[in-house]
Amino acid sequence: MMKQDANGRILLGVLSSLVAGTAAFIALAYVRGGGRGRPSPLLPKMVEDQLDRVTSWLDARLGKAVVDRGMDALQHALRGSAPDKLMQLLEQVIEPDALKQQRELDSQLAKADDDGMTVRRASQPN
**For residue 107, is it within any domain?**
yes
With respect to residue 120, please indicate whether it lies within any of the assigned structural domains: no
Reported as a single tens digit per residue, the pLDDT across 13-61 is 888 877 877 777 788 778 777 677 777 777 888 888 888 898 899 899 9
Q: What is the pTM of this model?
A: 0.55
Contacts 24+ apart (CB under 8 A), 116-124: none
Q: pLDDT value at position 20?
A: 78
Q: Which domain holds residue 103?
A: 2-114
**Count of the separate structural domains present in the chain:** 1
Residue 123 lies in a domain: no
Examine residue 23 and state whether it is found in any structural domain, yes or no. Answer: yes
The count of C-alpha atoms lying within 13 angstroms of the C-alpha of 47, restricted to the half-sphere facing its C-beta, is: 13
Residue 73 lies in a domain: yes
